[in-house]
Amino acid sequence: MTTLTVFAILICAAQQRWHWMAALVAALVGELTYRYFKLNQFNGPFLAAITEWWHTPILMGLQADKHYVKLSKQYGDLVRIGPSHLLTSSPDFWIHANNTKTAYARSPWFYRAMRFNPGEDTVFSQCDIAKHDARRKQMAPGFSGKENLGLEVDIDGHVQELLQLIQSKYMSTAEISKPMDLAMKVQYLALDIISDIGLGQSFGDLKAEADNHDYIASGAIGLRITFMKIALGLTSFFDNYYVASLLGPSEKDKTGFGKVKGVARRIIDDRLEKPTDGKSDMVASFVRNGLTASDLFNESFNQILAGTDTTSCSIRVIMLYLMTNPSIYAKVRAEIDTAWPASEPGIIPDSIARNLIYLQAVVREAMRMHPPVSDLFTREVPNGGDTFTFPSGKEVYFPGGTRISYSIAMHTDPEHYGADAHVFRPERWLTQNTPREKLARMQKINDLIFGYGKFHCLGQRIAFIEINKTIVELVRRFDISLVDPLQPWKSACYGGIYVQGDMWVQVRERGS
């Protein structure tokens, strides 16, 4: 309402309606005063207590992750970042707010901005708990592998395409350098995999070595628009059916989310013309479990967005830490050689990769240091409020309707990970180095990267199959190094989702 009130005041001033303007100013002052005192018990920047616009420059600066981590370190495990908005770096509270029996719901402030069509939700944007749980139940079998029997074979095929592309075009030698943008190639891989298993038809980006449907460029535009809505407090305005119909993304658009929606629509329509009986892919599973054609389109389009940026970010981060830590690179390779020698022609099976202890320690540690998502994935305190007792014994009351976001600062907190929490050290995850009770606590906190309880990421299993196979095959086959260690990539944070590019590497034959 604050944004609308300010606009109304400006209109009255322009029309010299001073009495109306005075009344609106008084109403605005009253509203801001009420907002300020609502969460006055929590510390944070002064401006954050009176206006949501405090978020605007932070989100628009595309470095919100760093800013919110700094706030958590400055103010503690609860920081006020808006009139009705808190940021928490307490894993215990976040687990409480997300458990399977929680009354906390997703906050429309953030998740309504993730709708692709006004009034139509996906399992990701749904804020009604009962509807979310019902949709999640329909979709879970398709992600579990029980109704998607060709999942691993499909992933293997695309990882093999990545390896063939590298071997055919990007092998550097002592005499010739052939730099490769690893960020882009990994994005192609993730897009091909998720479009194959999520839509039933691969985009074919790796084979073409091109963004065939302009998803990467269009997706970046779409993300900018989405987070502009959040930053300017205009989510509700743009979610209106008539406004969205006029100004929102259209499947006829030539750029942005609209173009990607059009591509997904054509693929889904083509897929639905074919019988699903006897098939064992994700689309067939969704249909068998009751998703309508409209639901299927929305959810499949959502999978393209949710399943590419996060997974490709994870692969980039892990490779970055390996390339900048040669001894760890060598140790991972030695472990792989024992379990899956270089002489093996195929892609490593998931059953072997997930049991490589040191590799899994590296994966955990890299994702701890740089989670694939951050910040504004927000919950809302149920009506009537809630009281939570923190491990310190402090009891805190949260008024109903308060928004609470997740801070990735918990993943580099010395209280949980030791005095060297800011250091990349995979050995912290090995049982011989860390007591079992402490290790279990660390793992539980680390797993919050993928959500918790009823909001746990459905695609985590698929993501880890893709991540493990890709890392193993790159490390066991090639020597990979950064072209410019001082500028390893370009990275921007769109309110919690990372967009990365220009990750230039040199790839050489192993041992050369």
> Which of 332, 286, 300, 309 lies closest to 463, judged by CA?
309
Instruction: Please state which CATH number belongs to domain 134-375+408-509.
Output: 1.10.630.10
Report pLDDT for 447: 95
User: Could you give the CA distance from residue 461 to residue 98 in angstroms, rounded to a whole number?
Assistant: 19
Tens digits of per-residue pLDDT, 358-413?
999 999 999 999 999 887 789 999 999 999 999 999 999 999 999 999 999 999 99
> What is the average pLDDT across 333-356?
93
Highest mean pLDDT among 24-33, 70-79, 250-259: 70-79
**Which tokens in the block code for residue 291?**
């998703």
Average pLDDT in the chain: 87
> What is the average pLDDT across 1-20?
65
Report pLDDT for 35: 64
The identity of residue 252, as a single letter, is K
Domain ranges of the chain: 134-375+408-509
Report pLDDT for 253: 75
- b/e per residue 179-205 (b: at least 16 CB within 10 A): ebbbbbbbbbbbbbbbbbbbbbebbbb
| pLDDT band per the 50, 70, 90 thresholds, residue 33 | low
User: Could you give the CA distance from residue 399 to residue 397 in angstroms, rounded to a whole number?
Assistant: 6
> What is the average pLDDT across 73-99?
94
Report pLDDT for 80: 94
Report pLDDT for 255: 67
44-50-53-57 Cα dihedral, nearest 10 degrees:
-30
357-369 helix and 436-446 helix, angle to the nearest 10 degrees: 50
Give the whole-number percent of the chain exceeding pLDDT 70: 89
Tens digits of per-residue pLDDT, 100-113?
888 999 998 888 88
Tens digits of per-residue pLDDT, 200-232?
788 899 999 998 877 787 777 777 777 777 777
Report pLDDT for 75: 95
> What is the average pLDDT across 66-77?
94
> What is the average pLDDT across 441-455?
93
Is it the case that residue 256 has pLDDT exceeding 70? no
Local structure of 117: helix, strand or coil: strand
Task: Please check if 457 is assigned to a binding site.
Answer: yes
* Full-model pTM: 0.90
Is it the case that residue 5 has pLDDT exceeding 70? no
- Residue 229 to residues 28, 60, 178, 403: CA-CA distances in angstroms? 22, 11, 41, 17
> Which of 505, 471, 488, 160 lies closest to 312, judged by CA?
471
